Structures are given as structure tokens and as C-alpha cells.
Amino acid sequence: MKSLVIVESPAKAKTINKFLGKDFVVKSSVGHVRDLPEGRLGIDVVNGFAPDYGIMKGKEKVVRELKATAKKSDRIYLCPDPDREGEAIAWHIAEEIGGKKRDNIFRVTFNEITRSAVQQAMEHPGTINMDLVEAQQARRVLDRLVGYNLSPLLWRKVRRGLSAGRVQSVAVRMVVDREREIAAFKPEEYWTITARLDGGLPPEFEARLARHQGKKITLPDAETVRKALAEIRAADAFVLSKVERKERRRNPVAPFTTSKLQQEAARKLGFQAKKTMMVAQQLYEGIELGAEGSVGLITYMRTDSVRVAAEAQDEARQYVTEKFGKDYLPSKPPVYASKKGAQEAHEAVRPSSVHRDPEAVKPFLSRDQQRLYALIWNRFISSQMAPAKLEQTTFHIDSGDYTFRTTGTVVRFPGFMTIYTEGQDDQDEEKEAQLPGLEQGARLKLLGLQEKQHFTQPPPRYSEATLVKELEEKGIGRPSTYASIISTIQARKYVEKKEGRFLPTELGTVVNDLLVEHFAKIMDYDFTARMEEELDAVEDGKMKWVSVVRDFYDPFNMDLEKATDIKRVRPEDKPTDILCEQCGKPMVERWGRHGRFIACTGYPECTNTKPMENGKPVLAPQATNEVCDKCGKPMVLRSGRYGQFLACSGYPDCRSTRPLPTGVKCPEDGGDIIERKSRGGRTFYSCANFPKCRFTLWNRPVPEPCPKCGAPFLLEKKLKSGLVRECHDKSCGYRQELGGEGASESPQDTDEG
């Protein structure tokens, strides 16, 4: 008889099938096969929160086939993923197909899907870990108790169709709280004074005023600035009083955990967390590599450990020595510390073999697969390389009682930075200065003094990367759940993404405020984090799952009983300056099932309404001078889901549309540069002749010629300091700051996007 191997994914089954001989049959469960019932709670709260599992709708045929094959098999190997969810899938399958004979069912786990890893794991099968199963069961029961009790309450008190979740609702609170921080923020004025100097050796450089009479200086207003400038000009001398040169070592960062992978893929690739996990799953389960067949290219991608197997480190060290030389190899393999509570049985996310470098496998991968694999491969190799050696030079420049300061960094030995440096969140795109080789005592020529007004900035809205980072730091959810959390709160329309940043919808704010007021405990960050720690304790066999659920449910149920008396809540109507064209009465913004809309105050006598898009009423189409290139009729300006666009006035006979042009022509083929939206909601600009022309920009083009080199347009950026315009041609270096009084123009290197 043959042995049956069961995995949860068809792609995984296909890869593993090639590694095992003719004595094995590999089948896929296509994910979970059992779950709590639809339409009812399915949990016996009185009798130990016993869950009532049943075969999931649509999985009956899969289960029948698994049972039939199991009866004809002498041994059964359950091989779902090596985590809570995978263990639960294995247990549910065993419950369905095992019957009375359970001694021929084995649990097998492997961290990577390669021939050697799979064959070695099959030679050492184990049993199902019930601690892991019960940890997953506790999470599932907790989420069902919250969802099935809170959602009906929201239906009654806010509107039909709403839902709540134990972890997702807390994530919404984070976004709402950040938005309120931003709204409550009071900007404070401050100024800077920058001197442009020449030391007789190239290049010229800038230094910022830092001290007065040896103490740190603050410039709170224009009067203080005027006084300082007068005294500096009166001194009429700039002397390089001190040169500090420090050797610094920059160490590489650890290989990826799940959360770090999601953050970095968001920063560098623009991937949503959900997309990152989907592509990583493909790389893990197996990619067809020509004659080599299907191979898993990375280790398991749901992990909070930075541990690396000794064999993988040895392979990486050999590669680094051969590729870069011994100088790039540390004397000992680096050891990175995982965060508290990490599952050290797992490894970090790394390539299954460093010899499959990104270029070697590129022909077999999609663009997204190749980019993510390159990110994982580069991060891992760099983590095993020597630190970079940097020389940081700081100039202290005295002018009377005032001291200016500037810093520049030179890379003396790149080390790991040869192939990888970690991305940063919410940083101004400004580079450190390039400084001339001057010595202490050098007299400097003043080329100009620039004063500039600034205002302190509120905390930024969360991006995909910073929201994942904050969830991890607060202990909300677990890395394996971040992607679904972020997807769910957007799907429920509690949170939306604009320009790559999350902000709460009006609906999300209303629901959040109701839950925070009446269910303060389950909406508390610390309480939610403690629940995650208790679920981890169940996984480690240190707590019983029923006691964890009971400790949560009893106070939650008390809050639920009190909440039956709360009043119905809904956003208030907002006045507008629009008059109803049917009856002449004022119109207001009103709240409905699908969000805000414009309605006549004469209701119910007058039922005139108008839809809203992007917070603005959708009014009648406006005439333009544009002509339809398909039928020749005039084009009109319409509003849609993604803003305004041009549409043919001959609709519905002619359905021609096109985006609004920016007024800038493409430098490659002369087409119009138009505004577009990425799948993640981020605005970018590209040639209207896409896909024939793939010219794109992340910053808004402005139809103004560069005053320095004459280039036909400038780029406009939003930095923390305000708006900046710069030349599209990087070699030109023209830059104009628009962030307040004292706007400056300076030729310096900048990054385009």
C-alpha cells in the first residue's frame, strides 16, 4: 500500500510530489476543512466554550476524497505549515479521516520545501502538537465571541451590515487616535539660519547655526533671527574652529522576520502586507526552475525568529568569500537576538539556497516574485557580512559668539552596504553634506546667509510599513495576522488609504467611539497585548485555553449586557452652500448606508439627492475645450471614484474617457503626462501612451521650465519641511523650497522618488 501525504496547498502538493517516490500519494486539503458554523455562534459558553465544528461549505468533496484515499493507505503524513494554523488544519484533518485507527497518522513539518528538507522531515515524523492546536482554537473562539456579539449591536446602534473584531477594532482605534493627534497638534514656530561657505577647496558647503556663547541656540521668532543675523554680519569672520573625525561601524540588520519583511516590502517595493504574504507564499511553496523542477526558494515566511541554521550560515559565508573576498566576512558568524517570546524552533525568512541568486532565477519568476526574492536574498546575505566602516566629519565654525555646524559622512569600507541597506520611515529626503578637506584654523569666505521659518509638524499618518511596525510594537495581533488585519479594516470601510497613508473614515470613527466608550477593556491596547501573550502561553503549554477564554468572556459579557441601553448613534448632518435646483431649499450632507450624500432639507416633500465622491458632491458635468478623439464630440469634466476625469459628452453612445493632463509633456515620446493611482492608492504620474511608453514619476510635474538649465518642467515634492520644487534632471541640481518665508534656491543633489 502507498502512504498518503496531505498538505494544505495545491502548489505545495505539486512541489512535494516531485521529491517523494512512487510509494507516496500527495493530496491537498486546500486550506481548512472544518470551522465553526455560519449563521450561529457555534460555541457552548456554558459547557467550557466547547466549539461545534463542522465541515466547511464547499469542502465536502475534498474530505470525501481524503477519507477514501486514507482507507487505502498504510501511513498518513499530515504536512500543513509549521505554525498554529497549520497544526489546527492537521488536527481537523486527522479528526475527519482518522476514525478509530489513529496510530498510523503522523505529523511532519519542514521549514523549507526543498528535496533534502522534505526527505529528512519524512524520515523523522512526529505527532500533532495539541498545545498549538488549542492556542489556535482559543483565538478562533475569542474572535467568534466578539464578532457574533458585537456585530448585531452595531447593526442596531449604528447601521445594518457592520461588524467588529477583537483585534481589527483595536487596529482601527490606532488609526483614529493618530488622526486625533494630528487634529489636536498645535504647530510651533521656529527658525533656522544657514551659512553658505567657501574654504578655498571644493566643494562649497552649508552649515547651520547651532550655538550662541557655547549654548544650544533656539530661534523662536523673526525678531530673534534679525538680532542674530546682525551680530553675525558685524563679526564678519568665519573660522573653522574645530574638526572632528570619528570612525564609526554600521552593523548589518538581522535577516527578515514576517513583520520586518512586510515593512521593508512596503517601503522599497510599495507592496501591501497582503501582497507581500501572497508572493512570499508562492516563493515558499515552489517555483518551476526549468530542468531543476519545482523548488521552494525561501524558508517559511511566517516567523518571529531571526535564528539561522548553521548550514545556511556556512553556505552564506562561503558565497561571501568567493564573491566579495575575505575582507567582507566577519571572523565569526553573527548571532542576532530575537524578540521576547519568539518561536526559536523557526528560522528567519531566508533563501533556501544562497547559490540561487536573484539573477539566476529571474527568468523563472514574475516581476513581483523576482523583486521580493531579491529583497529577501540581499537582506540575508548582507546579514552575514562584515560591518561597514564610516568616517564622520563634523565642522564647527565660529563667527563671533555664534557657532555653525555641519556634518558629512564618507564610506571607508562598504561591508554589507555593498548589497543592502535598510529603508527608513517618514524621513526627509536630505543628504549629508560633502565637505572639503580643510584643517582646523582655516578661514572661510561667507557666500550667503539664509534665514528660514519652520513650523513643527504633527505625527504622520500611518503608512503600510509604519502601521505594521506599530502593531508589532504594541503587541496587537501577531505577524502572521497583520496582513489580514489591514485588509479587513479597509474592506469594512473603517479605514481608507490616501496617498499611501491610512486615515479613518467617518464610519470608522463613529464605530470606534462607540466601542471605546462601552467596551473600554477589549479596546485597550495593553489588554489586547496581554491576550496575545496568554495565547502564546497556551501554545507553550503554560496555560489552559478554556481559562484564557473565560477570563476574557466574563467581563466582556457584563459590558455587553450594559450596552443594550445605549442610544443609536449616527454622524450629524452637515450644512452646504448648495441650493436644491428642484425646490430651492438648502441641501445638507447626510449619512446613509453607503456613506455621505447630499440631500434636500425639504425631505420628504422633496427627495432630491446627489452622490459624493472624495468628500465632495458630484455635480453636473462641466464643459471643457477638449475634444473626444473617438467621435469628435466635446469632452466634459466628470467626478468619479478616483477624482476628476474627462468623459465624452456623447455618453452612453460613446464611452471614451481619459485622465486629466498635468500640462506637462513626456520627455520620451511627447505624450501627455497624466495623474494615475496605484493599486495601493498612491498617486503617481505617467505617460498617457502607456504601455508603449513606460515613463513614470512619483512626484507631481509642474509645467514650469527650470530657471537653471531650461528643462521643460519641475518636480514638486512634499517633505516635512514643506513643498519643494526641483529639476527633473538630477545632474542639474536646481532646488526651490516653498515651505514658508525665506524660500530658497540652491543647487544640490536630491533623489527623485
Catalytic residues: 300
* Helix, strand, coil fractions of the chain, as percent rounded to 5: 35, 25, 40
The residue among 683, 705, 750 whose CA lies nearest residue 498 is 683
DSSP 686-744: EETTTTT---EESSEEES---TTT--S-EEEEEETTEEEEEESSTTT--EEE-SSSS--
DSSP state of 101: -
Q: In this structure, what is the dihedral angle of CA atoms 373, 375, 376, 381, given to the nearest 10 degrees?
A: 120
DSSP helix/strand/coil, 646: strand
* Tally of residues, the chain: 753
Beta-bridge partner residues of 637? 622, 646
Answer whether 612's CB lies under 8 Å from 595's CB: yes
The residue with cell 521552494 is 296
* Cα–Cα–Cα angle for 571, 572, 574, rounded to 5 degrees: 120
**Residue 47 corresponds to which cell in the numbers above?**
459547557
Instruction: Sort 345 into a burial class: Cβ within 10 Å, 0-12 / 13-18 / 19+.
Output: exposed
Answer whether 189's CB lies under 8 Å from 453's CB: yes
Q: Cβ neighbours of residue 496 under 8 Å, at least 6 residues apart? A: 490, 502, 503, 504, 505, 681
The values of phi and psi at residue 730, to 5°, are -60, -30
**Residue 665 to residue 701: CA distance in whole angstroms:** 10
The residue among 723, 726, 717 whose CA lies nearest residue 746 is 726
**Residue 154 to residue 159: CA distance in whole angstroms:** 6
Q: In this structure, what is the dihedral angle of CA atoms 220, 222, 228, 231, given to the nearest 10 degrees?
A: -160
Lay out the sheet containing 595-600: strands in order across.
574-579, 586-592, 595-600, 609-613, 616-617
Answer whether 381's CB lies under 8 Å from 316's CB: yes
Element (H, E) at 644: strand 643-648
DSSP 182-232: HHH----EEEEEEEEEE-SSSPPEEEEEEEETTEE----SHHHHHHHHHHH
**Residue 271 to residue 375: CA distance in whole angstroms:** 12
Beta strands in 427-572, from DSSP E residues, in sequence order: 443-455, 495-498, 501-504
DSSP 559-597: HHHHGGGPPP--PPPEEEEEEPTTT--EEEEEEETTEEE
Q: Cβ neighbours of residue 512 under 8 Å, at least 6 residues apart? A: 169, 172, 173, 176, 494, 504, 523
DSSP helix/strand/coil, 364: helix
Q: Are strands 495-498 and 661-665 parallel, antiparallel or unpaired?
A: unpaired
Count of other CB atoms within 10 angstroms of residue 409? 18
Positive or negative, the CA dihedral 692, 695, 697, 701 is negative
**Residue 347 to residue 422: CA distance in whole angstroms:** 20
DSSP state of 351: B
DSSP 59-90: -HHHHHHHHHHHHT-S-EEE---SSHHHHHHH
The residue among 735, 712, 713 whose CA lies nearest residue 725 is 735
